[in-house]
């Protein structure tokens, strides 16, 4: 007989594994989309970062904190995106030491194509059952995120 705490641990570990696999699958779908567009000067991680910049001006440190880019060298990635004409960097009007990043015309075109890719995925999942499943998944992931935040805060209080 499996105990309730053991079932909870197994489920928790399965969620962690699914998050990792889902992220890998997400990058693979972007990779396929980039290949279909004939783009070889941008990789899936760079495209994901570009998509999250969107229509905003953001500082490099905001990119680090807004996405799942642990272990990624954001400076190198933004340099590559800039050299390939997807983004521009200008000093912030408020603080010249901070570089603000925004999309160029080439970057906006890729952003639009990625937005269309996401729209196609949501169209596929647009039936009522899948919508409520996605809403529950978001709620569950937020709960797990809050557990990790609470644990981090409690460790800092020690």
CATH number reported for the structural domain that contains residue 59 in this entry: 1.10.10.10
Mean pLDDT of 12-37: 94
Mean pLDDT of 47-68: 86
pLDDT at 17 over 70: yes
The whole-number pLDDT of residue 6 equals: 86
Reported as a pLDDT band with limits 50, 70 and 90, residue 127 is: low
The whole-number pLDDT of residue 87 equals: 97
pLDDT at 109 over 80: yes
Q: Which residues contact 53 (CB under 8 A, 6 or more apart)?
A: 63, 87, 101, 102, 103, 107, 111
117 in the same domain as 59: yes
Domain that holds residue 145: 128-158
CA atoms 77, 82, 87, 91: torsion sign: positive
* Mean model confidence pLDDT for the chain: 88
38 in the same domain as 113: yes
Three-state DSSP at 141 gives helix
97 in the same domain as 73: yes
132 in the same domain as 66: no
CA-to-CA distance for 38 and 20, rounded, in angstroms?
Answer: 27
List the beta strands (DSSP E) in the chain: 58-59, 87-91, 99-103
pLDDT at 146 over 80: yes
CA-to-CA distance for 129 and 5, rounded, in angstroms?
Answer: 30
67 in the same domain as 10: yes
Reported as a pLDDT band with limits 50, 70 and 90, residue 89 is: very high
**DSSP state for residue 70 in the 8-state scheme:** T
89 in the same domain as 146: no
Reported as a pLDDT band with limits 50, 70 and 90, residue 145 is: confident
**Number of domains present in the structure of the chain:** 2
CA-to-CA distance for 16 and 144, rounded, in angstroms?
Answer: 10
Reported as a pLDDT band with limits 50, 70 and 90, residue 94 is: confident
Mean pLDDT of 86-105: 91
**DSSP state for residue 20 in the 8-state scheme:** H
54 in the same domain as 110: yes
Structure tokens at 122: 């949501």
């Amino acid at each position: 007989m499996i105990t309730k705490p053991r079932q909870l641990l197994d489920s928790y570990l399965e969620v962690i594994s699914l998050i990792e696999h889902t992220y890998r699958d997400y990058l693979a779908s972007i990779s396929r989309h980039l290949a279909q567009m004939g783009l070889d000067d941008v990789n899936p991680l760079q495209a994901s970062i570009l998509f999250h910049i969107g229509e905003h001006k953001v500082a490099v440190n905001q990119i680090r904190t807004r996405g799942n880019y642990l272990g990624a060298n954001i400076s190198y990635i933004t340099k590559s995106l800039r050299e390939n004409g997807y983004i521009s960097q200008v000093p912030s009007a408020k603080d010249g030491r901070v570089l603000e990043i925004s999309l160029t015309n080439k970057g906006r075109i890729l952003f639009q194509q990625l937005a269309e890719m996401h729209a196609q995925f949501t169209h596929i999942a647009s039936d009522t059952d899948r919508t409520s499943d996605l809403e529950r998944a978001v709620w569950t992931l937020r709960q797990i995120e809050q557990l990790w935040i609470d644990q981090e805060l409690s460790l800092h209080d020690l």
